Chains A and B, each alone.
Chain A
Amino acid sequence: MRGRPLLYRSYEQDGGLLNTAAKRWWSAALLAVLVWVPFQASPDLVLLLATAAIAAIGAIGLNIVTGYAGQVSLGHAFFLGVGAYTAAVLNGDPAARSGVVGYGLDMWIWLPAAGLVAAAAGLLVAPIAFRLRGLYLAIVTLGLVFIGDHIFREAESLTGGVGVGRKAAAPELFGFSFAEPGTILGVPLARDQGLYFMGLIALVIMALFARNVARSGVGRAFAAVRDRDIAAEVMGVSLRRYKIYAFVISSFYAGIAGSLLYTISRFLEPGTFGLLLSVQYIAMVLIGGPATISGSIMGAAFVTLLPRLIEEVPSFVPIISGEAAGGFLTTQQLEQFLYGLLIVLFLIFEPRGMYGIWARARNYWKAWPFSY
């Protein structure tokens, strides 16, 4: 009823994602800004934003298994790799030189397939999680990264091998390529803008789906497993089933993200999918905010844009060098150093991440003129 947003008369109204006028307005405004940005920002920044949007899909995936369901996973890089290679193999040129496999399939096949193959990998890994938790699970998933790394390096017919690599999938959907200048609905789009919109659309769909998983019975079961697995089981939440769900959904997201991510760089190198990549995604989740979708997006944007910010540092701080060798610290070292530092700082001071900062600011105004 007008002006009475809290007078719920149906559960649909109560459970609506945009259940108040204010939320509808702000969401529309945010969407308008997101559509407007690529026409204003410089192409390299737009590409970076496209990367952030796709990375956010991966971060949401990790957040589902680690944030919502509480199963620490260091193996996210492996699933990203599975997705990326599935897409590359399915899309690759069948007539190409040098013996890498390719089937030349369209995006509508390779994109879901990348997710599904990664999900299948997740299904294989999930049984490990039934019996392990916490540190032990972390170590096992760490092992997964090393096994994956080894396979990617050695399976040369699929990955091209170390130092050689292969072309990544090209985002061509029914003849329309997001990665080449083109026109859509009469609006001319440059390559960066095309990729940006591809990332944005994928992110919106995946984020909405994840949000709905999180606020449904499955999401509540995840939270129960995370908060106390024994208590959850006593309440009738099957650990086995929900840990499988968590790993499968999470790796599906990683597969989708992996397949799309390298359409931007257009090139895949087997050495990419190591521990460092996993750590980057963990940083996104912890900095953004565990168990939140919007936090995952904020975290992904932050971690993706951080290198760009750091590039500016050498011009202000002389002991940090922009060159690969030289100075006290290189920008790359600084970057890794900062990931670590930020994770530590967030865990200590704001365990709910950037989302927590936002929530606190929002609640401050929501409670106006009181504090509770």
Chain B
Amino acid sequence: MSTTALEEPRVRRISTIVTRLEQHASETPERVALRTKDLGLWREITWGEYWDVVQAVGHGLLALGVEPGDRVAVHSENRPEWVYADLGTSAIRATTMGLYPTNPSAEVGYLLSDSGAKVLIAEDQEQVDKALEVKDQLPELNKIIYIEPRGVRNYDDPLLMSWDELLALGAAHRAAEPDAIDLLMDAAAPEDILSLIYTSGTTGPPKGAMLSVRNVEFAIEALVEQGGFASPPPHAGDMLLSYLPLCHVAERIFTVWFNLSAGTQVNFAESIETVQKDLHEVQPTIFLGVPRIWEKMHAGIHIRARNATLLKRLNFRFWMRIADRIADTLVAREGNHTLGTRILYGLGYLFLFRSLQDRIGLRKCRFAASGAAPVGPETLRFFMGIGVPMHEVYGMTENSAVATANRPGHVKLGTVGEPHPGTEMRIDEATGEIQSKHPGVFEGYWRDPDKTKEAFTEDGWLRTGDVGEWVDGTHMKITDRLKDIVITAGGKNVAPSEIENALKSSPYVKEAIVVGDRRPYLTALIGIELETVGDWAERKRIAYTTYADLAEKEAVIELIQGVVNEVNEGVARVEGIKKFRMLRKELDHEDGELTATQKVRRAAIASQFGELVESMYR
């Protein structure tokens, strides 16, 4: 246009997640961006409304004195307010930091004081209480904003403010200074820290990884626009279900970054307990699951099939045998069908696969991913067989989750896939550690230069801490965490996670922890899956009362022995599990045995179950 010459020269803005949001809002303000389940209905939020609320939140935070570089903490389950808070914070160049809804009070205290958060956005009374309990340790915190007023309404702590009050504050501030956000968006720099993402901390206290605008933009380009995590790349017609914690980098990618870059539609699950039902309703086209979700789904299918009536049971059994054959072919041909398997699959689709996919909510799924933790190949193979296009992906917070992914048509089971284009990966000769280097690699740990230094090699590559090897020169296979590698008394290096995942592939096993460092042989602590083993026991007419009671039953131990034997057959002799003991309780985040992402804290296990472990070496 010719008039541009007359206007004041505008600052050239860099692309950030906020400019992307603004762009969607101006181009397609009426299109649906988010859906959330409210009183039984999926309430739709358009891009226009989304951007409007985000600006109100941004202004509200400005009014509360949040300045660029300040931290705003969010402690909530997945819901629209989470992303409003995230984007509102980013819009004013401040840093978002998420807490897991399951974080107990002590951890909340640690995370808030470590990050020095100025404002906390807490979902409800539960989360508000956790913060109030430790507020004495948090000198930098000057506001707690609660989203759900129920139960909090009558608190009279001066720190508290409701979400509606924040929006009202934002509206007033916006009327007074309408350009405030625009100016801050103009000033945005690639080094701005968008997010502090705390690592789960299996070994020490959690560390806050700083992800900058530059990191996130690179991740969006690699993972979304070039189809790293779903190819063909995600588009506006794609439906996603948001249910994993948003403070984890993986869900942030699938919920927030996919949505802001490709315009996918995000559907917020009602809660983690209702995921099955929400999946059935939403039928997402792209779905990310952590191994625990896939294992649970797998076990659930088998339980329900076993409890079906005769004809259905026979039908299921027959077509699962066919699915097995299809999976064999798919695994052998990197995920590609032959004409034969395509015909078999087509027939099976009529009799079983279609309805089965529909029941688990993945009938429309064009890209299913498993990530965030290692998964047993058997589990993935099962889903491939029934027609769920399953891809294992790999990444970590420190490299903005840009590392490797299996791509459609190039799936090698048991590997985590190929490096994304535009990234560099190498395997350290001496230790076998995977190292990566690209613009997505993080800016360092928050207020921890020592750990930051440890995270990089001399020549500036990011140390992932994972041990891996190349398969056929293209695909990466992860052996284990460097710190978890077990060296037996005989001097043999063993990767426990491989054995653990093989054990966990059994629907009866929920937790498996392999022990054997500086020991004569390998042993394992095994926790049963209450649902499946309970169902199995009922079928066998074994009466039980509690988890502990069931775990200690002779018959159950025999059942697990069977699983262990099966796994032992598949591995080298030294890697076999000689003895195992049953865990008498379910591992729990609250008791410090698991991290917020349900990963096992080995040190905690070693101290808590030391006696049990020793009993296997006597």
Contact = CB atoms under 8 A, between A and B. Distances in A.
Interface residues of B, number: 25
A372 B306 CA distance: 11
B356 interface: yes
A11 interface: yes
A372 B316 CA distance: 14
Contacts, number: 52
B282 A7 contact: yes
Interface string A1-28: 0011011111100100000000000000
A371 B280 CA distance: 16
B41 A372 contact: no
A7 B277 CA distance: 11
A370 B305 contact: yes
B41 A9 contact: yes
A369 B282 contact: no
Given A368-B355, A369-B305, A370-B305, A8 B40 contact: yes
A3 B281 CA distance: 10
B359 A370 contact: yes
B41 A8 contact: yes
B305 A14 contact: no
A372 B283 contact: no
A364 B282 CA distance: 23
A369 B301 CA distance: 10
A17 B409 CA distance: 44
Contact of B283 (A4, A14, A364): A4
A369 B283 contact: no
Nearest to B353: A369
Interface stretch (B53-61, B110-118, B307-315, B428-436): B307-315
B312 A368 contact: yes
B42 interface: yes
Contacts of A10: 41
Contacts of B283: 3-4, 7
Given A368-B312, A368-B355, A8 B42 contact: yes
Interface in B413-433: none
Contacts of A9: 35, 41-44
B292 interface: no
A371 B309 contact: yes
Interface in B313-368: 315-316, 352, 355-356, 359, 363-364
A372 B283 CA distance: 19
Interface string B273-284: 000000011110
A10 B40 CA distance: 9
Nearest to B364: A3
Interface in B39-85: 40-44
A372 B308 CA distance: 8
A11 B43 CA distance: 11
Among B35, B43, B355, the most chain A Cβ lie within 10 Å of the Cβ of: B355
A9 B39 CA distance: 11
Interface in A352-372: 364, 368-372
- Among A4, A8, A368, A370, max chain B CB count under 10 A is at A370
Contacts of B42: 7-9
A370 B312 contact: yes
Contacts of B356: 369
A4 B35 CA distance: 14
A257 B280 CA distance: 44
Contacts of A371: 304, 307-309, 312
A9 B267 CA distance: 12
A366 B129 CA distance: 45
A8 B40 CA distance: 8
Contacts of A8: 40-42, 281
A16 to B, nearest CB: 13
A14 B364 contact: no
Interface string A330-372: 0000000000000000000000000000000000100011111
A369 B356 CA distance: 6
B44 A372 contact: no
Contacts of A6: 280-281
A16 B281 CA distance: 17
B308 A7 contact: no
A14 B40 contact: yes
A6 B37 CA distance: 12
Given A6-B280, A6-B281, A7-B281, A369 B352 contact: yes
Contact of B304 (A3, A11, A370): A370
Nearest to A6: B281
Interface string B353-385: 001100100011000000000000000000000
B220 to A, nearest CB: 26
A6 B284 CA distance: 13
B312 A14 contact: no
Contacts of B35: 9
The winner among A4, A9, A10, A369 for most chain B CB atoms within 10 A is A369
A325 B363 CA distance: 66
A362 to B, nearest CB: 14
B268 to A, nearest CB: 13
A30 B445 CA distance: 67
B41 A369 contact: no
Q: Which of A7, A364, A371 has the most CB atoms of chain B within a 10 A radius of its CB? A: A7
A11 B355 contact: no
Contact of B315 (A7, A11, A364, A369): A369
A282 to B, nearest CB: 34
Nearest to B44: A9
B40 A372 contact: no
A364 B309 CA distance: 9
Contacts of B309: 364, 371
Nearest to A366: B355
A9 B282 CA distance: 11
Interface in A211-233: none
Interface string A245-260: 0000000000000000
A11 B35 CA distance: 15
Nearest to B282: A7
Contacts of B44: 9
A368 B282 CA distance: 19
Given A3-B364, A8-B41, A9-B41, A369 B280 contact: no
Interface of A: 3-4, 6-11, 14, 364, 368-372
Given A4-B282, A9-B43, A372-B307, 13 more contacts: A3-B283, A3-B364, A4-B283, A7-B281, A8-B40, A9-B41, A14-B41, A369-B356, A369-B359, A370-B308, A371-B304, A371-B307, A371-B308
- Please list the 9 inter-chain residue pairs (A to B) with the smallest Cβ-Cβ separation, ordered nearest first: A370-B304, A6-B281, A371-B308, A368-B355, A370-B308, A9-B42, A4-B283, A7-B281, A369-B355
18 contacts: A4-B239, A6-B280, A7-B42, A7-B281, A7-B282, A7-B283, A9-B35, A9-B41, A10-B41, A14-B40, A369-B305, A369-B352, A369-B356, A369-B359, A370-B304, A370-B305, A370-B312, A370-B359
